[in-house]
Amino acid sequence: QSVLTQPPSVSGAPRQRVTISCSGSSSNIRNNAVNWYQQLPGKAPKLLIYYDDLLPSGVSDRFSGSKSGTSASLAISGLQSEDEGDYYCASWDDRLNGVVFGGGTKLTVL
Amino acid sequence: EVQLVESGGGLVQPGRSLRLSCAASGFTFDDYAMHWVRRTPGKGLEWVSGIDWNSGGTGYADSVKGRFTISRDNVKNSLYLQMNSLSAEDTALYYCAKANRRTVGANPFDYWGQGTLVTVSS
């Protein structure tokens, strides 16, 4: 049972837009930044969004992040087959005094 | 180019110990906090431990507290994880990750290694 809650899977057709939610609490998402990671099959995780809504250099602007209260979201527009993989949200938890991850969401491009 | 190369994984019996290493290059190692994160088939990514730039602060997941010890050598540009009293639940691919700030906290991991596999089994 992960501290941050994500849907196990989402899917969409090419060129469509999908969103992945990440639900937490006041001890993590409300008071701390959310970061998103992408893990493609057989690859190491990659930073996708940081400090809630910032895009690292080199990451496509098809990816965007937002946060409101105790929830955060990752949006992916213009879906492409190479986006298939696992997506994780993460934040700092003040009560646990450590980093917490969501359980991960598997993205399938139909 | 930032590179993080983990080593030290392998097959180990329950109750035994293992020490993981991470060799860093391509950045000023002692300017950044470093972390260990593991991926298990059933649970996805799990943060294991983190250490500040000067070893002044460390943090551990509850699941490893008291059994694992993180350390770093800023002269050798290396990160370590001493894992004791291993159990099957510790079986995972262990990643070394660089933070974008000096301290362990709500800061993102901007570079990751390829991981080293630890299998705990009799």
pLDDT truncated to tens, each residue of chain B (122 aa)?
A: 999 999 999 999 999 999 999 999 999 999 999 999 999 977 899 999 999 999 999 999 999 999 999 999 999 999 999 999 999 999 999 999 999 999 998 899 999 999 999 999 99
SS (H, E, C) chain B: CCEEEEECCEEECCCCCEEEEEEEECCCHHHCCEEEEEEECCCEEEEEEEECCCCCCEEECCCCCCCEEEEEECCCCEEEEEECCCCHHHCEEEEEEEECCCCCCCCCEEEECCCEEEEECC
Mutate to test the interface with B, among A47, A74, A99, A106 (most CBs of B within 10 A): A99
Q: Which amino acid is at A45?
A: P
Which pLDDT value is given to residue B55?
92
The pLDDT of residue B41: 78
Residue numbers in A near B41 (CB within 8 A): none
Place of tokens 């939610």: A21
Contact residues on chain B for A91, CB-CB shorter than 8 A: 106
- Smallest CA–CA distance, residue A70 to chain B, in Å, is 15
pLDDT value at residue B94: 98
pLDDT at B4: 98
pLDDT of residue B26: 97
Between chain A and chain B, how many beta carbons pairs sit less than 8 Å apart? 64
Q: pLDDT tier at A23 (50, 70, 90 boundaries)?
A: very high
What pLDDT shows up at residue B42? 77
Q: Do B105 and A101 touch (CB under 8 A)?
A: no
Q: What is the pLDDT averaged over residues A50-70?
A: 97
Q: Is B115–A44 a contact, with Cβ atoms under 8 angstroms apart?
A: yes
User: Looking at residue B85, what is its pLDDT?
Assistant: 98
Q: Are A72 and A87 in contact (CB under 8 A)?
A: no
| A96 and A4 Cβ atoms separated by less than 8 Å | no
Q: Residue A99: its chain B contacts at CB < 8 A?
A: 35, 47, 50, 59
Rounded average pLDDT over A35-41: 97
| Contact of B90 with B120, CB cutoff 8 Å | yes
Percent of chain A with pLDDT over 70: 100
First to last CA, chain A: 28
Band (pLDDT 50/70/90 cuts) for residue A75 is very high
Q: For every residue of chain A, which 3-state class applies, written as one string?
A: CCCEECCCEEEECCCCCEEEEEECCCCCCCCCCEEEEEECCCCCCEEEEECCCECCCCCCCCEEEEEECCEEEEEECCCCHHHCEEEEEEEEECCCCEEEEECCEEEEEC
Are A46 and B62 within 8 A, CB to CB? no
The residue type of B4 is L
List, in order, residues 6 or more apart from A59 with CB less than 8 Å away: A47, A48, A49
Report d(CA B34, CA B104) in Å as an integer. Answer: 8
